[in-house]
Amino acid sequence: MAKQKHGKTAVSPTREEDYAEWYQQVVRAADLAEVSPVRGCMVIKPWGYALWENMQRVLDGMFKATGHRNAYFPLFIPKSFLEKEASHVEGFAKECAVVTHHRLVAGPSGGLIADPAAQLEEPLIVRPTSETIIGASFAQWVSSYRDLPLLINQWANVVRWELRTRLFLRTTEFLWQEGHTAHASKEEALEETYRMLDVYADFAERYLALPVVKGRKSAAERFPGAVDTLTIEAMVQDRKALQCGTSHFLGQNFAHASGIKFQSAAEKEEYAWTTSWGVSTRLIGALIMTHADDDGLVVPPRLAPAHVVLMPLLRDEASRPKVMAYVDELRGRLREARFDDRPLEIEVDGREMRGGEKGWLWVKRGVPVRVEIGPRDVEAGAVSYARRDRPAAEKQVMARDQFVAALPGILDEIQRTLFERATRLRSEHTRDIDSWADFAAFFTPRDPERPEIHGGFARSGWCGEAACEARSHELKVTLRCIPLGAEHERGSCVACGRPSEERVIFAKAY
């Protein structure tokens, strides 16, 4: 495979040149998604959606293995439901899609208008999240402690009216799952909150190949209405933090708002303790920002829609039948192999197209292993392949039988390499920082032309005061989380110098 336009990369600009634009170009080059004619909404194209399907499959299995069942609740939330939980309103009821009419009619000047005679008595909100509408069901489903715990998950679309959008990372409509559970005791609900955070972290590390910090959000960063919000935070290649999933302990707040009450074993009426937790198509953005390079997407093998692409090189008609027969046989043999507990996914690209051009298409889409088969490979009984975690031009040759046996191991190795790279990047750009001067320097771009290049994650003391947290906002930095399970390390607050009990993570974030 010839190098893409000698000396150039397949994606332009490079990460170094313009990270934000590079991201958009990777999404485009890998054919993952595009902006739609509807402001802020995206079209998820087949290759992007296949990534989401793989994430869904794995996560859904994990949710079921932890006792959850799927259900489906209405897309619309009556306005009065949103008004029930005061801080929830504050956080969610602002920028949202409001349905006010239920009919269109021909307007006076042609075209259609919302029928003034079909105005809804109570406006409906397109769900930005479903605590309130699911709470209404839970209130009906629960009457005794025997009905608890209630462990429900929903796969759905949600809408939050966003002013500035970026494909996958922040869009007006996005796809997600939202878990909602109700428990008889605070302890059980807390346990669930932590359990699901662990599920997310496990998924991020083992499937997305994404090292994450598990932590607790500060009060200022909590989900509106939650008592506690847990988060997994990743560092992507421009050293910013990306929140990848959250798990909320809602205490009895939503149970009070929705009336989720039960008769306890001691025959007392009590309010349930609830949790909610979610991850979204944003994870596709995390995958891109973490693993893609200047040649396009790099997909961790465990989530790859295709593990390997076979490209017959059909330069002349005479060799075509032999090459195609060899490719077919190779495909047949590979189909019997398994990787990560599922059959290998094999793409055969026999389109008539220059070999180089075709190869680059699959580089940009991030398929873990690319195989080109020409007449010489057929004669030699060999396979010439390239790995997406190595430079595009680096090819290796193996005997066919050996390749079939080796492929699952190669995929494992690629998966591990991606995780190790991301872990290395994160540790290289994580610092313990103890003074405000160092903190400010860490987060101040060295090159004013390239404001995106800054320090990374600062591990600093924090006294717990909102004012000190807010001081970081001056540098466009936020408190990402208070890591769980970290050693308590007495020190002083990086903003005010008063005593602090532990180091927390500060970073710029998406």
Whole-Å CA distances, 410 to 47, 95, 307, 311, 390: 22, 47, 10, 19, 12
SS3 373: strand
Contact 137, 73 (CB under 8 A): yes
Shortest Å distance, C-beta 50 to its own copies: 7
Shortest Å distance, C-beta 159 to its own copies: 7
Name the residue nearer to its own copies (CB basis): 95 or 357.
95
Name the residue nearer to its own copies (CB basis): 135 or 368.
135
Closest CA to 203 of 338, 305, 60: 60
Cα separation, 130 vs 115, whole angstroms:
28
Shortest Å distance, C-beta 64 to its own copies: 10
The single residue listed with the structure tokens 């532990």 is 502
Residue 228 gets which letter from DSSP? Answer: E
Name the residue nearer to its own copies (CB basis): 71 or 397.
71
Name the residue nearer to its own copies (CB basis): 69 or 186.
69
Shortest Å distance, C-beta 74 to its own copies: 4
Contact 361, 28 (CB under 8 A): no
Name the residue nearer to its own copies (CB basis): 234 or 346.
346
SS3 207: coil
Omega into 224 within 30° of 0, i.e. cis? no
Shortest Å distance, C-beta 93 to its own copies: 5
Q: Dig out the tokens for 311 from the structure.
A: 């490209």
The single residue listed with the structure tokens 């596709």 is 284
Cα-Cα-Cα-Cα dihedral sign, residues 461, 465, 471, 476 = positive
476 — phi, psi (to 5°)? Answer: 65, 30
The single residue listed with the structure tokens 């699959």 is 362
Shortest Å distance, C-beta 510 to its own copies: 21
Shortest Å distance, C-beta 127 to its own copies: 10
Shortest Å distance, C-beta 47 to its own copies: 9
The residues of the shown chain that bind its own copies, judged by CB under 8 A, are 34, 36-38, 41-46, 49-50, 52-53, 69-83, 89, 93-105, 111-114, 123-126, 133, 136-137, 140, 152, 156-157, 159, 161, 173, 175
Name the residue nearer to its own copies (CB basis): 163 or 318.
163
Name the residue nearer to its own copies (CB basis): 281 or 460.
281
Residue 87 CB coordination number (10 Å): 13
Name the residue nearer to its own copies (CB basis): 93 or 209.
93
Cα separation, 131 vs 92, whole angstroms:
11
